């Protein structure tokens, strides 16, 4: 046993191993039972040696964060949540922009509709107050959009969406397995 194996692992080290295990699950390298068992061991690990044993049979990871030899499309992810060969998410900028501006368009549309209805009801062209909603909010959104594009926010957002999607899949799979095995507390009420 070398000196490093006996050194204490940090929370960041455990989280890095957990992330690698999540990737291995999404790549189809681990089944859910193996993933769950290794994940529990990762979070319980005290030393680097405890962590190293969890990844020994998995291929090394490239700079893009994916395993070498990994297919471009990860199992279980829709195409828009799957990084391309360069590690970038295709269409991320468009989807991020829609996500950022969607609430703005809805709110401005509603305020303009209210203004239009009040104009019709009063039979007069009233002061265009929706401009006070659209203008400042739009200016703030424009600045944050430009800054986000400069900082690469769309790719980070897409990666976060992919992780959320995988977490939801893992949770659904665990629930399915618990349901099929009768759960921790036995059969559900009304069964058996």
Q: Of 77, 105, 136, which residue constitutes the final position of a domain?
A: 77
Residues 24 and 74: their CA atoms lie apart, in Å, by 10
| 161 belongs to a structural domain | yes
| 83 belongs to a structural domain | no
Would you tell me the crossing angle of helices 11-27 and 48-55 to the nearest 10 degrees?
A: 10
CA–centroid distance for 57 within its chain: 26
Residues 114 and 8: their CA atoms lie apart, in Å, by 62
Q: Of 77, 111, 129, which residue constitutes the final position of a domain?
A: 77
Q: Of 77, 100, 134, which residue constitutes the final position of a domain?
A: 77
Whether 29 shows a pLDDT value over 70: the answer reads yes
Q: What pLDDT shows up at residue 191?
A: 52
pLDDT per residue over 4-17, tens digit each?
A: 677 888 888 888 88
| 188 belongs to a structural domain | no
* Residue 8: strand pairing partners: 47
Q: What is the pTM of this model?
A: 0.48
Q: Which residue range is the domain that position 4 belongs to?
A: 1-77
Q: Alpha helices of the chain — where are they, by DSSP H?
A: 11-27, 32-44, 48-55, 92-122, 131-151, 153-180
pLDDT per residue over 99-116, tens digit each?
A: 888 889 889 999 999 999
Shared-domain flag, residues 102 and 24: no
Q: What pLDDT shows up at residue 108?
A: 92
> At residue 67, what are phi and psi to the nearest 5 degrees?
-65, 150
Whether 125 shows a pLDDT value over 70: the answer reads yes
Shared-domain flag, residues 61 and 140: no
Whether the CB-CB separation of 99 and 157 falls below 8 Å is answered with: yes
CA distances for 121 relative to 4, 116, 125, 126, 184, angstroms: 77, 9, 10, 11, 61
| 185 belongs to a structural domain | no
């Amino acid at each position: 046993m070398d000196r490093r194996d006996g050194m204490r692992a940090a929370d960041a080290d455990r989280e890095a191993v957990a992330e690698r295990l999540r990737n291995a699950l999404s790549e189809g390298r681990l089944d859910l039972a193996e993933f769950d068992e290794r994940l529990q061991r990762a979070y319980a690990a005290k030393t680097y040696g405890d962590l190293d044993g969890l990844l020994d049979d998995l291929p090394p990871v490239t700079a893009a964060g994916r395993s070498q030899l990994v297919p471009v499309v990860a199992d279980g992810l829709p195409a828009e949540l799957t990084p391309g060969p360069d590690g970038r998410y295709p269409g991320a900028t468009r989807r991020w922009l829609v996500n950022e501006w969607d609430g703005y368009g809805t709110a401005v549309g509603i305020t303009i509709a209210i203004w239009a209805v009040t104009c019709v009801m009063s039979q007069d062209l009233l002061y265009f107050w929706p401009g006070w909603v659209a203008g400042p909010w739009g200016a703030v959104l424009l600045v944050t959009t430009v800054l986000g594009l400069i900082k690469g926010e769309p790719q980070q957002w897409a990666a976060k969406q992919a992780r959320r999607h995988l977490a939801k899949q893992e949770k659904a799979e665990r629930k399915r397995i618990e349901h099929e095995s009768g759960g921790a507390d036995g059969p559900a009420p009304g069964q058996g």
